[in-house]
Each structure stands twice: as C-alpha cells, then as structure tokens.
Amino acid sequence: RTTRHICSNVVIDVLAPDRARGESAMLLFTGEGAPKVGSFHDRFVRTPGGWRFAERRGTLTF
C-alpha cells in the first residue's frame, strides 16, 4: 500500500546544545477516502553523526 505524508509549519525549539523538540502539521494520503489531518511531535538528540530523531509521535485531528 502506498501512502504519502506531507509535513508543513515545522517549528523546532533547541532546548540544549544536544536536545531539541519539534512540531509539524501533517496531511496523510492513504488512497482510501479523504486525506487525514494531524500533527507530529518530535524529540531530537545530537549525536557524533549529527541530529537524529529520538522520538516521533503522530496524532490525527480528523
């Protein structure tokens, strides 16, 4: 099954030199019915290889 996520309105807050959090609006196309609208809530950590996702949570609004 093919799906597409479109993210916009990305806001990232740097909390410390090695930690950040972010939020973005999300539009999800599943090919089944109307697109779904929601948001992502993220936590990031800086590693020797650069910034990485520590956690990503998605919620659907409708």
Distance in angstroms (rounded) separating the CA atoms of residues 45 and 62: 30
φ, ψ of residue 45 in degrees (nearest 5):
-130, 145
Q: Which fold has domain 4-60?
A: Nuclear Transport Factor 2; Chain: A, (3.10.450)
pLDDT of residue 61: 95
For the segment 4-36, what is each residue's pLDDT rounded down to a tens digit?
999 999 999 999 999 999 999 999 999 889 999
Nearest to 19 by CA among 41, 42, 40, 46: 46
pLDDT of residue 43: 98
pLDDT of residue 15: 98
pLDDT of residue 24: 98
For the segment 40-56, what is each residue's pLDDT rounded down to a tens digit?
999 999 999 999 999 99
